[in-house]
Amino acid sequence: MKEISNKVKEIANRLLAEGQVDVFLAWEKGDQDYLTRPLAARSVEEAERIVCDEYSIHNLSNYLLKFRDGQEKIGLVVKGCDSRGIIRLLEDKQFTRDRLYIVGVCCPGMNDPLKAIKRNSGLLPWADPEDKADKCSSCAYPNPVIYDELLGSEQQPNVSGERQAKIEEIENLSPDQRYEYFRCEFERCIRCYACRQACVACNCRVCIFDEMRPQWVGRENNETDNMMYHLVRAYHMAGRCVECGECQRVCPVDIPLMLINSKLAKDANEFFGPYEAGIKYQEDSKPALSVYSLDDPDEGFM
Amino acid sequence: MTDKCSCEQPLVPTIVEVVDIKDETPDVKSFYCRLSEGGVPFNVAPGQCAMVSCLPVGEGMFSCTWQEEQEYLQFAIKKVGLLTDELHAIEVGQKLGVRGPYGNGFPVEECQGKDMLFIAGGIGLAPLRSFIKYCFKHREDYGKITIVYGSRSYADLCFKEELFDEWPAIKDTQVYVTIDNPEEGWAGHVGFVPAYVEEINPNPQGLMAVTCGPPIMIKFVLQSLEKMGYTDQQVITTLEMRMKCGIGKCGRCNIGSEYICLDGPVFNLAQLRQLPQEW
Amino acid sequence: MKILSKDKLESVLDKLAESAQVFVPLSRANSSGFYSWENRNPEKEQLMLDTLNVYMSPKNIGFPQTEKMYSIIQSGAEAQIKETFEDSNPRIIFGIRACDARAIRCLDDVFLTRGYTDSFYQARRENMVIIANACYSPGPNCFCAAMGVNPTEPEADIIIRDTGDSGYIWEAQTAKGEELTAGISSLLEEKELKAPEMKPFPTQVDYSGVAEKLKGMFEHPLWEEMAQTCQNCGICTYVCPSCHCFDIQVKSWGDEGYRYRCWDSCMYTEYTAEAGGGNPRPTTKERFRNRFLHKLEFFTERYGYPLCTGCGRCIAACPTGINIVKIIDQVKEASVDD
């Protein structure tokens, strides 16, 4: 990764110095070896701080939403999952391709700084001794699917089946059992909306959960409203989620959101497929559920 | 000096009945409220506000434009969103919730003996009206009164009866009205309020200026007043931010370390300059 | 001195639970927080008195995420407040640290002083007894001492000090504490034990003069830079023990309904969004700046001490690595020259 890190810094330097980009999104180092955090470099001086290492887990394509109304040219570093996020934004017409310079990095699997931070914080009952990010244990797209420049050697997908196994296990439960499983999980939810904020596909200007006219879901932290929040959000993600796993990573109370999102992605593929969100960008390509054809299947999702 | 709500449950409203509704402009109505059994739920000093709610819809903080003894509390409410749309649809006899009074109110005592200059724009006349009427009620306590008021159009002028008939007839009182653009049937001044104030050019000597209106108008009025030689102590304004609790606890109406609902909404310019420029 | 031996701990908690809701630091899934002792799932949820602290703060006990305030009826022109829901059931918070105890004092100052008493918070707080666990081994993200909190002398009704196998020294500090101690005195022993040694703080930060300096830094370019990577997710405000912003909303169906309050976050866009369409804090920078100024300057100006109690939870929770200690450092180093 050291070589890639240096190359990224070099590229950022060049792009900023030549004025090809106004902002370059990458990472910088904190004062511990696991403290890598996002950085938006706007000058060659700031670009000196750039790294891209094994703790560069963050999905930088989410930051593009901060710039969507501007004119700036943005350079950014993306791994496989992040690059799908860019296609998500392009398809949703939230950004235009000509404003981007995409540096793709073939990803060998990342460590999650949050794991190390949480382990060292003394606040959790059980500390995973490994920093390897949970979402990376099951990765279908380690290589970027859209880029202007590609770094690193091609990686093999790693679909170990852990998440798929859990999904199958839940599929085999009765509807009541499934409800109970998720009810227990959502009970912990504190409605902090971090999952929504971390999600690239959540890019509505006024989120449905912020609407007051009418108010679709109340802000009470109870079974009903928590369920409604998660299920409505999941349905808005159906066919659009690029499975980058950030939602689950940022959740402060450890809710297994990717189970639902992966299940819906699986169903979208089964019903409307072959289909995977954000794999290939074409002018006017649309998410599966944004297209209606007369021979669409009638079965519900869950 | 001003009564704070002395109740034990400051977040729980009292039920009042709307006894009259008056159309002021196409999107502003005045609501006259009192307790069903007569009387008002609390006394409101000029510049203070109350949380008015349509119970199943929500609450909003509105300046009390006037308290007529124990007869009624009057609120002038503009139709801009969820709650105010609902309020504009109610009829006389509707029961609403109110809680208050909130805020520090205008410094009516400190201003005694001074000449008064009231500068307002649009719905901004509503909070000033309570101070204006207070001055008229205690006319001898105040010197010359000048009112400069402007709105987008004639139809958007609030309190037309008072503006054109009642107030100019009061002793030693001048009322200047302007609208933004020329209109058929309007023979009065045309132009924005800040420029009109400079035109009228009242002498700052012994004068207190009180202003309220859209943020952009306040900004220019303050600039004009400064140009005209008014000191920071002579200029008072009343601010607004989104409010929920009204009692300085929910955190959202702060400008710097001041809560607009509790420490404000009335501030003089000297105090404003101490605050972060976030308004 | 009074001692609670470790083998009597659960009995004490059970006894206390006979006449109050007892909240203890518990694990829950792969997270932790202050949850009910008597309602715990003993197979899945473990007491966490030996760990530094828990992930979710105890503020939800006095200031719940969602709190019903009063029920309403509106039928045509008629409207009525039916009943108010102040909840003064007795509660005991067992095992909070000094940082969280200070945060409760912050909430007390906010909700119970300055002209108005929040009747809902007061009802809960009146019958709340706080038993705090003195802290001798600060963690890597801890900086309570820098914020004026003494980790070994938490502001509480009772302080327990963990001496190891010999048990906890049990010190009642207030009349409430004395009363509760009397109720379980049969489960305590008399012994002389020595309190542990205070270990040093791994993280050093200097807050002195920061509140003053921040007064002149509202327009400083530092805020733009520091807010760049913030995603406005709100986690910091929710794990923070002293963040107390709330929203008041209504739930209604047909003629009935109720008003409730719920946590809100200054990080959200619609926090200050006005009905007419204006928003004084439209972008991340303004909201970010407001949050840190509130924590480090505005509250200090208003109440005399900072709103940040140095617990370090936000540092452990932020998905993009924003760190309030680093922000304090940067403020101290910043040059203010206009």
Q: What is the pLDDT of residues A60-108, one digit of tens each?
A: 999 999 999 999 999 999 999 999 999 999 999 999 999 999 999 999 9
The answer for B 15-74 residues in CB contact with A (under 8 A) is: 58
C338 within a domain of the structure (yes/no): no
Q: In the prediction, which pLDDT does B6 show?
A: 57
Q: Is A118 on the interface with C (CB under 8 A)?
A: yes
C337 within a domain of the structure (yes/no): no
Of residues B85, B132, B58, B59, the one with CA closest to residue B50: B59
**What is the C-alpha to C-alpha distance for residues B175 and B197, in angstroms, rounded to an integer?**
12
pLDDT band for position A209 (50/70/90)? very high
What stretch of H or E contains A143?
none
Segments forming the whole domain that contains residue C131: 2-332
Nearest CB to B251 within list C81, C266, C293 = C266
**What is the C-alpha to C-alpha distance for residues A45 and C227, in angstroms, rounded to an integer?**
18
Q: In the prediction, which pLDDT does B5 show?
A: 58
Question: Could you give the C-alpha distances from B206 to A105, B66, B172, in angstroms and in order?
Answer: 72, 26, 15
Integer-rounded Cα radius of gyration of chain A:
20
Taking contacts as CB-CB distances below 8 angstroms, the residues of chain B near C110 are 249
Structure tokens at C135: 């802290």
**What is the C-alpha to C-alpha distance for residues B243 and B221, in angstroms, rounded to an integer?**
25
- The domain at B14-102 falls in which architecture? Beta Barrel (2.40)
Which ranges constitute the DSSP H helices of chain B? 82-88, 125-137, 160-161, 193-200, 215-227, 269-274
Q: In the prediction, which pLDDT does B236 show?
A: 94
C171 within a domain of the structure (yes/no): yes
Rounded to an integer, the average pLDDT of B194-217 is: 92
**What is the C-alpha to C-alpha distance for residues C16 and C94, in angstroms, rounded to an integer?**
10
Q: Is A215 on the interface with C (CB under 8 A)?
A: yes
Nearest CB to C275 within list B80, B93, B249 = B80
Chains in touch with C (3+ beta-carbon pairs under 8 Å) read A, B
> In chain A, what percentage of residues exceed pLDDT 90?
67
Domains B14-102 and B115-238 share a fold: no
Of residues A68, A142, A144, A133, the one with CA closest to residue A102: A144
Of residues A3, A189, A155, the one with CA closest to residue A81: A155
In the predicted structure, residue B2 carries a pLDDT above the cut 60: no
Taking contacts as CB-CB distances below 8 angstroms, the residues of chain C near B81 are 275-276
Rounded to an integer, the average pLDDT of B83-99 is: 95
ipTM of the complex: 0.89
How many domains does chain C fold into? 1
Say yes or no for a CB contact (<8 Å) between B10 and C116. Answer: yes
Q: Is B155 on the interface with A (CB under 8 A)?
A: no
Extents of the domains making up chain B: 14-102, 115-238
Q: What is the pLDDT of residues A215-260, one digit of tens each?
A: 899 999 999 999 999 999 999 999 999 999 999 999 988 899 999 9
Q: In the prediction, which pLDDT does C276 show?
A: 79
Shortest Cα distance, chain C CAs vs residue B243, angstroms: 8
Taking contacts as CB-CB distances below 8 angstroms, the residues of chain C near B55 are 72-74, 79, 81, 250, 252, 257
Say yes or no for a CB contact (<8 Å) between C52 and A210. Answer: no
In the predicted structure, residue B260 carries a pLDDT above the cut 70: yes
Q: What is the pLDDT of residues C306-318, one digit of tens each?
A: 999 999 999 999 9
Rounded to an integer, the average pLDDT of B40-52 is: 93
In the predicted structure, residue A302 carries a pLDDT above the cut 50: no
Residue of A206, A211, A212, A219 to mutate when probing chain B, most B C-beta within 10 A: A212
Name the 3-class secondary structure at A194.
Answer: helix
C97 within a domain of the structure (yes/no): yes
Q: In the prediction, which pLDDT does C6 show?
A: 93
C307 within a domain of the structure (yes/no): yes
Integer-rounded Cα radius of gyration of chain B:
18
Q: Which residues of chain C have pLDDT under 70?
A: 338
Shortest Cα distance, chain B CAs vs residue A253, angstroms: 25
Contacts of B37 (CB under 8 A, 6+ apart): none
Q: What is the pLDDT of residues C28-42, one digit of tens each?
A: 888 899 999 999 999
In the predicted structure, residue A301 carries a pLDDT above the cut 70: no
In the predicted structure, residue B113 carries a pLDDT above the cut 90: yes
Domain B115-238 has CATH 3.40.50.80: yes
Structure tokens at C184: 């379980």
Shortest Cα distance, chain A CAs vs residue B275, angstroms: 28
pLDDT band for position B254 (50/70/90)? very high
Say yes or no for a CB contact (<8 Å) between B254 and C298. Answer: yes
